[in-house]
Chains A and B, each alone.
Chain A
């Protein structure tokens, strides 16, 4: 048996009331809500076609050129990179906020930057995230090892891209709307060779086909009916 025990020595005695007072005092004075958090951009995979981004720009310093865009009013650009193919931009708001984003391709690595677009149309990165990987949505098929494009590949590339980007809210998740971002000019999703068949850029509208039922709720012991 492992008998290693962290050192603790206490000659103090406490009543329930003492402990309650100490607990309440610490919770009041050191509440996480009142604490400053470091400037950072964190992205986390949600499922094969979504990631969650949260950022805190409170401590970022913008230079004059960046400030000319008046980012505090116009918001920021969240640039999401698919590490094999390209990137897309999403307009976001708030120095400290979060947002769920829809992704074009499963089984892929992504990273993100948040920043502003200056008067020259140049993107200035304020914060950069770590890389993440979203899972694959379908089993690997021996005959087709590439990720599956989720939309109809018979359509033209432009149609596919446009259709994908105009799907703004699906399953409670936002995807960049073409028109919104185009006002800022640099909406780009750069695909090598611009060939969907090669790069398998795609969008699955219904990744929740396997949605599982939760008919019972967490109303007591930590239990809820798990998916079937």
Chain B
């Protein structure tokens, strides 16, 4: 744990999970979905890093957990995407300059246009000069300074309960995720973020095989465990094999996630959905936005949440900062109260509150989220006699006598189980993916000798992993960018089918294989043998 340790009655583990699907398009420039990465870097990852850097100067002791998905790590380290991101920011700065001129006679808008000009300029400066286009290294630096514990997740964020019938598929997701993370960061992770907190009994064994010490679940995985948990969700469970499950604290979640009670809905916070890209003539924006001529988010948002209606008032950054500060205090007071209300249990175990969130909430969806998080960290580090910030590794090092029990199958999705990723809108994908998993297993068992065959099998494994991403069924269920999600799955499976057929026919076209390796340039250490039951 950090340098200055007070003895407090309880712990708070804030966990941020950062993930994006593999949205890299070498074959085509200007694909809209690459903006998902650029927006997240601009509004979330760089603001978080700058917040961590600022805290490091003022407050040397803080502890958070950050999960970085293998796909996100790959995107952040990709040289082509780095170049495209700089171009993206340069276009935003040009647009901001035009906005300053366009709004010169409208003082409140003019002030906000200047705000965005400064925001994008500082972001570009930070990206190029402070972080030298290497955000992964910047996060890793905070890990080594003791501020962050960085962990990872499954290779392509597959929703693992839906692949439980094929152990090789789950094993490959876990091992490839960990190996990619280690390859990129140089860190062997102790913790593992189960995609969408999707857990099923038995998964803990595969995590143990992979050297994982702990993972996260939703609340009811703990409360519905096979033995009544003595401390409820305020303590981890030992799954019986020294792999520990930490459950999400419902109150911490509600205060941040809830659409009605959550902080992000405060009237003074920036309104996410009102973006200039949807309100201006497209021909005015086109040179600055994308090669695809359709309305897209620009990042220029002039309004605040205001209320439920359509009429929105102008955004006031200073007022929003005040609210973030107040909400941070409120959150800490509530968590302290939660700890104080818990019955005093005898024994070594102190209660822990685990508060996991999607990292992209902070800054992207909730623009003031990083400011709020900074406030929470400062309030606890400086003023709290009740709470200590910790990571789950810290907690496990310190606490003994953890109860043994097996969590219940669960996820943090709608209704708490598998429904969101297995519904009438997306269930059609699974027979194809399951069939592909079995074909991959056969391939792994009987692959002919030779490096070209190995390359092909490894590329087939990459394609299959990409087809398993939870993001695509999620999008189909949410009915957002459905066509893109379908295309991503179909492309991945078609590439997989092609590669398998090449091996099965003993006819490998190295040029085609090389092209696919360039198109899906991910998981450098992937090993098709993970699919072979005999080699595990």
Asked if A and B bind, the verdict is yes
> Contact at A44–B228, with CB atoms within 8 Å?
no
> Contact at A47–B418, with CB atoms within 8 Å?
yes
Contact of B490 among A33, A135, A223 (CB under 8 A): A33
> Contact at B165–A215, with CB atoms within 8 Å?
no
> CA of A24 to CA of B478 in the docked complex: distance in angstroms?
27
Does any Cβ of B come within 8 Å of A1's Cβ?
yes
> Contact at A7–B455, with CB atoms within 8 Å?
yes
> Contact at A210–B360, with CB atoms within 8 Å?
no
> Contact at B422–A46, with CB atoms within 8 Å?
yes
Contact of B225 among A137, A140, A141, A142 (CB under 8 A): A140
Point out the residues of chain A lying under 8 angstroms from B417, CB to CB: 45-48, 135
> Contact at A223–B365, with CB atoms within 8 Å?
yes
* A19 and B228 contact, Cβ closer than 8 Å, known pairs A2-B183, A42-B431, A44-B418: no
Which of A8-16, A120-128, A151-159, A191-199 is found at the contact surface with chain B?
A8-16
> Contact at B430–A42, with CB atoms within 8 Å?
yes
Instruction: Please give me the residue from chain A that is nearest to B23 by CB atom.
Output: A222
B330 to chain A, nearest CB (A): 17
Point out the residues of chain B lying under 8 angstroms from A16, CB to CB: 26-29
The range of chain B's interface size is: 35 or more
> CA of A215 to CA of B409 in the docked complex: distance in angstroms?
25
> Contact at A222–B419, with CB atoms within 8 Å?
no
Point out the residues of chain A lying under 8 angstroms from B353, CB to CB: none
B491 to chain A, nearest CB (A): 5
**Chain A interface mostly helix, strand, loop or mixed?**
loop
Interface size, chain A (Cβ < 8 Å):
77
> CA of A50 to CA of B415 in the docked complex: distance in angstroms?
12
B185 to chain A, nearest CB (A): 8
Contact of B228 among A26, A100, A141, A215 (CB under 8 A): A141
Instruction: Please give me the residue from chain B that is nearest to A3 by CB atom.
Output: B183
A133 to chain B, nearest CB (A): 7
> Contact at B515–A30, with CB atoms within 8 Å?
no
> Contact at A214–B414, with CB atoms within 8 Å?
yes
Which of B93-101, B131-139, B206-214, B517-525 is found at the contact surface with chain A?
B517-525
> Contact at A226–B475, with CB atoms within 8 Å?
no
* A210 and B416 contact, Cβ closer than 8 Å, known pairs A31-B494, A32-B493, A221-B36: yes
> CA of A16 to CA of B40 in the docked complex: distance in angstroms?
26
Which residues of A, 170-228, contact B by the 8 Å Cβ criterion?
Answer: 172, 207-208, 210-228
Point out the residues of chain A lying under 8 angstroms from B454, CB to CB: 6-7
Which residues of B, 8-49, contact A by the 8 Å Cβ criterion?
Answer: 19-21, 26-29, 35-36, 39-40, 44
Does any Cβ of B come within 8 Å of A136's Cβ?
yes
Point out the residues of chain B lying under 8 angstroms from A14, CB to CB: 514-515, 518
Contact of A26 among B365, B512, B525 (CB under 8 A): B512
> Contact at A29–B498, with CB atoms within 8 Å?
yes
> Contact at B498–A30, with CB atoms within 8 Å?
yes
> Contact at B455–A140, with CB atoms within 8 Å?
no
- Identify the 3 closest CB pairs spanning chains A and B, nearest first: A215-B259, A47-B417, A135-B409
Interface residues of A (CB under 8 A from B): 1-10, 12, 14, 16, 18-20, 22-23, 26-33, 35, 37-38, 40, 42, 44-48, 50, 52, 54, 56, 96, 98, 100, 130, 132-142, 172, 207-208, 210-228
